[in-house]
Amino acid sequence: MVMRTRTRRLAHAVSLALAAAPCGAQSLLDEARAAEERESSSAPELSTALEIREGFLDGAQTGTGFGEDYLLGVPRDLRAGEVRPLLLAWHGFGAPPRQIFRDTDYPAECAARGWFLLAPRGLDDKSFGFPPAQRNVRAVLARVLAEQPIDRRRLYAVGWSMGAQSALCFAARHREDEVARFAAVAALQGPHDLLDTYARESAPLRAWMERLFGAAPAADERPYRRSSVLRLDATRLGLASEPSYARQLLDLPLLLVHAPDDPLTYLRAQSTALGAWLRARGAPVLEWNVRGRSPAHDWRIAPASTVCAWLERQQLGPLPRMVELVSDGEASRLGVRLVPREGAAFATARVAREGGGWKVGALRGAAELHLEAGALGVPADGALELRLLRGGAAVQRVVVLGLARSPAAVWRGGRALEAPPWSAEEGLSLLAPGAAARWRIER
């Protein structure tokens, strides 16, 4: 598969780091080097278990300015009128999407179950699932869901190594996105805290991460945290420094696979710490501690048949009534998205659905509060309500999106407001600093 020009620039940058990598180091760069050697050798052909289709979105279609190529495996027994599950498989560091169809048993397992298998690139083979890569993958998912008969209640993801981190972070940032709402995710030995990964990795890989995220963590750790699932406390391994995207995984079925004999020992430490953090909060997480299946760091850490069998038992659950939201300006829950204050990596809040509206409290670090009217499932002409509780006074603006027309009336604290600004594109602007904490929008 051909990488387009802007993606190739990123790959060229990492090739410089690969050339400088110390040969004896246990690093993710060793994984990338092995993948490059397989690509340049007489590697086996792609699996024929599924009908394989190549796809590409250009930079305008992804919305990032970077193109995205992908492989889609289509069940050969697909019949008209059927819908089938889809498994999104995210490759490891330095490996292309074809790795999934050439070096793993997932094509055969998906074919046996009648599933679609999607392998995106994630902008670059070594992107660590950073936000532009996630936007590219979402664009691919949107394309595939529009073109193929996918069962939206059985959208699954599996990732290995860097792909495990990328898949979990992607799931956390898209918990209720109609395009990317997964029923379950399997994460095979991934680096879930990129600041810890940076500290423990080789100098060449740290140089690549600095190029990717724009700076070393000492200068700006926010880009690393936006792509991490959990931020470990170095003095108390297993306890997280808040906020953490893991908060948004507490109601998602997860399979975490650890390998005690994996040569990249810090990956197991991060994975077990994430599992402990989730278990302590009652999350539906299953952990497998697999020893001796593979002497190397590769997909064989867990059988594809066993992983797929576990995924197949999971289905999309109902929306919760209350959640904790961690947002970098993109992630949302229950129709609520927070815009952090300038200089902050995240804003946080507790969000509850309350009939035809929202109740939002314990807000921290939020400059704006954006609400999506359609997320509540109330009739299009039904009234919407918002109650801001503790911390709400610091919010500078509230925007309600998804209104088809200007509201019939807006009430604040029992007093009618004079026609607040509204447009179909920019929404309804509701709040000035220090305003009352309760609104009613009549449509």
Spatial contact of 69 and 3, defined as CB atoms under 8 Å apart: yes
Q: Is 408 helix (H, G, I), strand (E, B) or coil?
A: coil
Cis peptide before 243, with omega less than 30 degrees from 0? yes
Q: Considering only 236-245, 277-286, 402-411, which range has the smallest mean pLDDT? A: 236-245
CA atoms within 13 A on the CB side of 249: 32
Res 14 pLDDT > 50 = no
Q: How far apart are CA 56 and CA 7, in angstroms?
A: 12
> Minimal CA–CA distance to 128: which of 175, 170, 66?
170
Q: How far apart are CA 378 and CA 372, in angstroms?
A: 12
pLDDT band at 9, cuts 50/70/90? very low
Q: Which residues pair with 87 in a beta bridge?
A: 117, 156
> Minimal CA–CA distance to 100: which of 42, 165, 35, 150?
35
Neighbour-count burial of 321, counting CB atoms closer than 10 A to its CB (0-12 exposed, 13-18 middle, 19+ buried): exposed
Q: How far apart are CA 393 and CA 415, in angstroms?
A: 18
pLDDT tens for residues 54-104? 999 999 999 999 999 999 999 999 999 999 999 999 999 999 999 999 989
Spatial contact of 100 and 106, defined as CB atoms under 8 Å apart: yes
> Minimal CA–CA distance to 325: which of 345, 356, 352, 343?
352
Res 8 pLDDT > 70 = no
Q: How far apart are CA 182 and CA 308, in angstroms?
A: 14
255 vs 289, residue with greater confidence: 255
Give residues with Cβ within 8 angstroms of 219, minimum separation 6. none
Give residues with Cβ within 8 angstroms of 378, minimum separation 6. 355, 356, 384
Can you give the pTM of this predicted structure? 0.88
Architecture of domain 5-312: 3-Layer(aba) Sandwich (3.40)
The whole-number average pLDDT for the span 227-239 is 68
pLDDT tens for residues 365-389? 999 999 999 888 788 788 999 999 8
Residue 311, token pair as written in the block: 């995924």
> Minimal CA–CA distance to 115: which of 103, 128, 100, 130?
100
User: Residue 178's pLDDT is what?
Assistant: 87
Domain ranges of the chain: 5-312, 322-442
Give the N- to C-terminal CA distance of the chain in Å, as an integer.
50
